[in-house]
Amino acid sequence: MCIKNITSVFRSSNLPMIITMKIGLLGATGPAGKALAARLASVGYEVIVGSRSKYRAMEIRDEIISDWPEKELQITAAENLDAAKADLIVIATPWDAAATTARSVADQLHGKVVVCMSNAIARVAGEFQPLVPPRGSVAATVQSVIQDSYVAAAMHHVPANELGDLKEEVESDVLVCSDHVKATQETSELLSKIPGIRPLDAGGLSNATAIEAFSAVILQLNSRYKTRAALRFIGIDEN
Ligand SMILES: NC(=O)c1ccc[n+]([C@@H]2O[C@H](COP(=O)([O-])OP(=O)(O)OC[C@H]3O[C@@H](n4cnc5c(N)ncnc54)[C@H](OP(=O)(O)O)[C@@H]3O)[C@@H](O)[C@H]2O)c1
């Protein structure tokens, strides 16, 4: 490899190594997608912020870049359809838009890992309560409309504020579930690049029902104790 190529792959010591995998986030103009876009770019991924409107995506891309000028983040903006051309896709829309969004870009998703982070939650009389979507979870509903993609459910419990604050590490276990080993592995590998996050294999996609629903409990704890609760499991030996 010539010197020019080496410098294009490795950046100076205070900047992350560029990772060649491109991550496309659909609905990344909301707090969750924006925060994940910033965090993944900060660890070296090339990230595409996706939206139904390219202009909203550009606005959010510009906000992230101006929030963290010293990070030299590799972020571009696109409509969801173009963001879905990336190597791995994350759906960060509200729960009732996740399957429709996946279906609208299905032609781009064949054979790819698609991570769904949407939670179906309602706030009723001040309390957070889980809703049970068709097929038991948002992720299972998404998988049903893109059957030749590999859907994983993950990132439901990490609050956008912490995820998007690149000054601090994110301290959290992240439960990953899927019916496809490939999806669990690629999602876990992606998340393990984020310092402080420990991805855990939580089994098949049927467990997305419990994982998504548990978000209501965490939001309730946050509200009750005026905090940002995070998950840490004890007793798990990763080796
Ligand atoms: N916020 C958190 O801390 C957090 C943490 C973990 C997981 N989550 C989950 O992540 C998901 C996104 O959360 P959020 O707070 O970022 O949500 P949000 O702001 O309500 O929505 C995110 C984006 O989804 C797109 N969208 C909205 N309605 C849509 C529709 N009908 N069809 C297609 N796209 C639509 C919009 O983007 P465009 O208009 O630009 O297309 C919007 O900016 C939720 O399901 C949430 O449960 C959130």
Residue 167: inside a domain: yes
- CB-defined site of ligand 1, < 6 Å: 27, 29-33, 51-53, 56, 92-95, 97, 101, 117-119, 155-156, 158-160
Residue 237 pLDDT grade (very low, low, confident, very high; cuts 50, 70, 90) = confident
The answer to whether residue 232 is domain-embedded is no
- Rounded to the nearest 5 degrees, what angle is found at the Cα of 103, between the Cα atoms of 48 and 189? 45
Task: For residue 44, give its domain range.
Answer: 3-225
User: Smallest Cα–Cα separation from 150: which of 87, 213, 96, 210?
Assistant: 87
Phi and psi angles of residue 218, each rounded to the nearest 5 degrees, phi first: -65, -45
CATH number at residue 64: 3.40.50.720
The dihedral over CA atoms of 136, 140, 144, 150, expressed in degrees to the nearest 10, equals: -170
- Look at ligand 1, atom 10, and give the residue with the nearest C-alpha: 118
Question: What was the pLDDT predicted at 239?
Answer: 64
Residue 239 lies in a domain: no
Which residue, among 44, 26, 181, 49, has the nearest Cα to 117 in the 3D structure? 26
pLDDT in tens, 132-185: 999 999 999 999 999 999 999 999 999 999 999 999 999 999 999 999 999 999
Q: In the structure encoding, which two tokens stand for residue 6, read together?
A: 């080496």
How many CB atoms lie under 10 A from the CB of residue 8?
11
Query: What's the domain count of the chain?
Result: 1
